[in-house]
Amino acid sequence: MTNTSLVITSISSPNAVLKAYAKDCKENNVEFYLIGDSKSPKDFSLDNCHYYSLETQKGIGGKLASITPEKHYSRKNLGYLEAIRHGAKVILETDDDNFARKEFWAPRSVEKTVAAVENAGWTNLYGYFTKERIWPRGFALEHLQDALPARETLSQKTVRCPIQQGLADENPDVDALYRLTLPLPLNFDKAPAVAIGEKSWCPFNSQNTTWFPEVFPLLYLPSYCSFRMTDIWRSFVAQRICWTNGWHILFHESTVWQERNEHNLMKDFEDEISGYMNNKKIAETLQDLELKGGSEHIGENLILCYEALIQLGLIGKDEITLLKAWLDDLAAIGK
């Protein structure tokens, strides 16, 4: 997997997952970037891993490193920048409680001939991979009862999918409402991939995701919002901008399984309320924006999308300063 990088953020000591990724990255010729935070062990050390302590991050240069808030998942942005700075052509991301199967390390291709969902509104793509009652974290609760278009009615198309979401078995990425009311573990079926395109919405997360160069700017995780919403709201912005360029988001079978870190589900529920109440509104607002097509306009489209979320009162106004620093750092790298 030449010029491929894996990015994770963690405050854990070298646990079984991180050790496994370090070993597998070496075997598969993947560069491993691990971003720590203020609670990370001071003596963290792991072979075959580019570890960035908080102090190291502040010394990497650029604009974003010195202004990104501590104790937030969005510090992962600095890992993306480091991977890009060192020549990554494909970025993989996951978390420190997801174990990779061998399929995780298989080569990726950006173009896929798959069943495509388009002009379908909110579409629970998990339904194409299981008959169990389940939905992804960030799905608009108002649309949980919507009928899923039958797979056989979907058109088979060759589409460009520069963002690819893999599912996770055992403890899939679901919201606290699901975890409080419905059973786990759950393993998804080994079903064919599905791509979602224009005017169709399904959140994707950061637990098993592949990014190709044309969408590297869309990796940006917002800081001035709930930890539980940062990757979800990023996904809505990314989907909207992908439509403008004729790109699809691919959802494919599980290539990881999760042994979930300890969580307080009621705290998760509290942190997700802003999403429960506003995910539908966010999608409607983004869909109504007038954006420009072409990779050269991704930066200005990102600013327009985040300005809209700020106007909704869902993201703090200081986000624009961080976003512009991200774009400036990318430009300095030459991306």
- What is the pLDDT at residue 156? 96
- What is this structure's pTM? 0.97
- Reduced to 3 states (helix: H, G, I; strand: E, B; else coil), residue 154 is coil
pLDDT per residue, tens digit, the chain (335 aa), is 669 999 999 999 999 999 999 999 999 999 999 999 999 999 999 999 999 999 999 899 899 999 999 999 999 999 999 999 999 999 999 999 999 999 999 999 999 999 999 999 999 999 999 999 999 999 999 999 999 999 999 999 999 999 999 999 999 999 999 999 999 999 999 999 999 999 999 999 999 999 999 999 999 999 999 999 999 999 999 999 999 999 999 999 999 999 988 889 999 999 999 999 999 999 999 999 999 999 999 999 999 999 999 999 999 999 999 999 999 999 999 87
Cα–Cα distance measured from residue 79 to residue 176, given in angstroms and rounded to the nearest whole number: 27
In a domain, 56, yes or no: no
The type of residue at 277 is M
Q: Is 334 exposed, middle or buried (0-12, 13-18, 19+ CB in 10 A)?
A: exposed
Angle, helices 230-244/298-311, rounded to nearest 10 degrees: 130
In a domain, 257, yes or no: yes
In a domain, 54, yes or no: no
Residue of 272, 224, 218 whose CA lies nearest to 240: 218
Q: What is the DSSP string of 29-76?
A: TEEEEEE--TTS-TT---TT-EEE-HHHHHTS-SSSTTTSPSSSGGGH
- What is the pLDDT at residue 1? 60
In the chain, how many domains are there?
1
In a domain, 174, yes or no: yes
In a domain, 59, yes or no: no
- What is the pLDDT at residue 263? 87
In a domain, 255, yes or no: yes
Q: Rg for the chain (alpha carbons), in Å? A: 19
In a domain, 233, yes or no: yes
Which residue range forms the structural domain that includes residue 164?
99-333
In a domain, 209, yes or no: yes
